[in-house]
Structure 1
Amino acid sequence: MTPKVWCIHNNEPSLKLVQDGFVSIGWEELGDLAELVSNKEALKTRLLDTFPDAKPGAIPGWAGTLRRFVLDMQIGDIVIAPNKSDRTLSLGTIAGDYYFDPSATLHPNRRKVTWHNTGIPRAQFSEKALYEIGSVLTVFAVKRHANEFAAALEPKSNLNAVEAEPATTATNAAVEDAETAEETPNASRVEEFTRDRLETILRTGLSPSEFEEFIAALLRAMGYYARVTSYSGDGGIDVIAHRDAFGLEGDIIKVQCKQTISPIGGPTVQALLGAVAEGEKALFVSLGGYTRDAEFLDRSKHALRLLRGTDLIDLLLRHYESLDDEWRQRIPMRRVYAVDVVSGSD
């Protein structure tokens, strides 16, 4: 039987899901869910008694979430765990039945997971697949792009995005509960889509030299004077920035730009430090992340800063209005308001 594919949104960064091998949901106030979820109407009544101030329509949705987590998810099913803090996905398989951890003060409702492929950059998946897993629900079955995520279960799988045929999905009841919420736009989903789209533009819509020009433009939008160095023989320095017009006052910042989502290692970062003179600062910009040895350099060298893809998108969104007209035309955005729909006590 083809395993189902599930996505679980966990908004508690303090939980070590990958290190400790589990996924979890909240609703701590309900206690052990093992017997409570067997009767859907009794579960709704318990939820209403426990959360009397719940918004209209929230109770049926919460009941569906709890039943999917405890009853519908089966051992061997595939689970996707998005990490909002570093914008990566981790993929694993359910390794055990539901259990309640009485020693856990946060998210005691858990399922054991064997993680197969962790910390995958979101950019390795299609935008449509990423939009599907942006559902407002805490626990839901992935239908339209299940095969794309299943193919990425092993680290060396082919991650070329395709329009996947739906894999076997959850029970009719679970699908019925989730259908509307999965399709409903919400503030979080719009934000994730915007960030995914910006990352795609920066990664595939610009040449390497244009990416360097963009970094210089962003630094100018932040109040620096910045210029791109010669594209050949630059010694690894792609952009030079400083606060005054002539670069004679304050620190000189030497920037290296990598238009990649692959982790940058310590030796590459150390090479940048080797090109920085006394009194100068080093800034490494990447669309991805960094290895542990590179992170150690970031912590131990006061003249060094590592800029990750998430940091770069944050700065772009924060300083967009100050960008040159050329770049606002190439990366068109406008300010909008979106209804912030929340999934509940997860």
Structure 2
Amino acid sequence: MTTIWGVHNDQPQLDLVANGFVSIGWDDLGDLTDLKDDREDAKERVARKRPYLKPGAIPVTAGTLLSFRHRMRPGDLVIYPYKPDSTINIGRITGDYYFAKDAPTHANRRPVTWLRTSIPRTTFSQSARYEIGSAVTVFQVKQHKQEFLDFLDGATSATAPSVAEAEPEAAADEAADQPDPERIETYTRDFIIETLMTKLEGIDFEHFVAHLLGAMGYRTEVTSPSRDGGYDILASHDPLLLEPPIVKVQCKRTTSSIGRPEVQQLTGTLAAGGSELGLFVTLGSYSADAQHEERHRQNLRLINGRQLVKLIFEHYDKFSLEYKRLLPLRPVYIVDSTLS
């Protein structure tokens, strides 16, 4: 039976997908090649290298080391959630553990051939997303293993709950079991993306983005479908939308990846000289080529789903009652164990 592992990585600049590996940090623990497949030996090593750890954290760290060094095997599948754009990557482990001694960070690695990349999180059921949001760095995916295998086989998950089933109250109940701030934020982010995707039509999403820009201090005008020439919204700090810079906004209500050609459609409408700026907003992510286009253009800004949710959080208090009913949110204080 295929084993599926989950690996969390907090160093997106390593580009695990492009470079074909998964890694864990903890470089202070050194090369794990000589680590025995023995829990007591692993615990002794962790205690010696990290004397500042609380006693309860030592077995958890030792278990992670053993999983990455010994339990993972070539042929196993691995799921790597990519936080910057809230997507998921699935690959197959193709070799044994190795220590990349010249790497500046995350030298503990395993080679991976990536099978599917940049998968929208909302492709999977809420409970599956919750499982791979484990607070542990390396963990085995068991409860929703078949759902991920079915996805790789081309099946569409029939277990994903509708937005109606995923009400905010359910988040509070589920979060109470494991009150981890990041997991609760992830659940809320998924709820927002899923709601905007399923509850709004394309033109409705454009009006929602215009409303958000209004909450941010912009005057906006949504173009009619017949006048859509590569952009959906005009925005400006000028009440009459006459004084530059004028922002042309293109909206795509999709959780898929946006490519460079779609972005260039927007940039092709911009006047030269900096009087017009381009803003692309999507619920999904952007391809590497599209991100390259943004880096080389001072008049272009790309907003992915994760960044859109962050803006919603920041300006939610200025939302109309209509949109607060669409996205019923409330601020909550949560214990942050990283500060203790």
TM range (shorter): 0.7 to 0.9
Of 251, 258, 265, which residue of structure 2 is paired with 1:257? 251
Q: CA deviation at 1:265?
A: 3.1
Pick 1 or 2: higher relative contact order, CA cutoff 8 A, min separation 6.
Answer: 1
- Cα deviation 1:296-345 (Å, max 9, x = unaligned): 44334433322222221121111111222221121111111223346xxx
- Return the letter of the residue paired with 1:280: E
More deviation in 79-88 or 39-48? Answer: 39-48
Of 265, 269, 273, which residue of structure 1 is paired with 2:267? 273
- Return the letter of the residue paired with 2:186: E
Percent sequence identity is 47
Name the SS of the counterpart of 1:45 in structure 2. helix
- 1:92/1:153 contact within 8 Å kept: no
1-structure distance, mates of 2:323, 2:198: 15
- Identify the residue that residue 174 of structure 1 maps to in structure 2: none
- 1:135/1:184 contact within 8 Å kept: no
- 2:95/2:112 contact within 8 Å kept: yes
| Residues 73-152 of structure 1 mapped to structure 2, 5 A cutoff | 73-152=72-151
- Identify the residue that residue 291 of structure 1 maps to in structure 2: 287
Q: CA deviation at 1:85?
A: 1.5
- Cα deviation 1:99-121 (Å, max 9, x = unaligned): 23333342222222122112222
TM score, norm. by length of structure 2: 0.86
Name the SS of the counterpart of 2:206 in structure 1. helix
- 1:188/1:340 contact within 8 Å kept: no
- Identify the residue that residue 160 of structure 1 maps to in structure 2: 157
- Identify the residue that residue 188 of structure 2 maps to in structure 1: 194
2-structure distance, mates of 1:299, 1:103: 28
- Identify the residue that residue 317 of structure 1 maps to in structure 2: 313
2-structure distance, mates of 1:293, 1:15: 18
| Residues 28-39 of structure 1 mapped to structure 2, 5 A cutoff | 28-39=27-38
TM score, norm. by length of structure 1: 0.85
1:214 aligns with 2:171: no
- Identify the residue that residue 333 of structure 1 maps to in structure 2: 329
- Cα deviation 1:217-273 (Å, max 9, x = unaligned): 100110011132224443343222111222233322222211012233333333333
- Identify the residue that residue 68 of structure 2 maps to in structure 1: 69
Residue correspondences, number: 320
- Cα deviation 1:23-57 (Å, max 9, x = unaligned): 11122222232443423123212212221211341
**Gapped runs of 5+ residues in structure 1?**
164-182
* Aligned CA distance change for structure 1 residues 185 and 159 (closer, same or farther; 3 Å): farther
- 1:93/1:114 contact within 8 Å kept: yes
Name the SS of the counterpart of 1:92 in structure 2. strand
Name the SS of the counterpart of 2:244 in structure 1. coil
Name the SS of the counterpart of 1:150 in structure 2. helix
Q: CA deviation at 1:161?
A: 4.7
- 1:79/1:91 contact within 8 Å kept: yes
- Identify the residue that residue 224 of structure 1 maps to in structure 2: 218
* Aligned CA distance change for structure 1 residues 49 and 205 (closer, same or farther; 3 Å): same
- Return the letter of the residue paired with 2:222: V
1-structure distance, mates of 2:228, 2:97: 57
- Identify the residue that residue 298 of structure 2 maps to in structure 1: 302
2-structure distance, mates of 1:291, 1:9: 21
- Following superposition, which runs of at least 4 residues in structure 1 exceed 4 angstroms of deviation? none
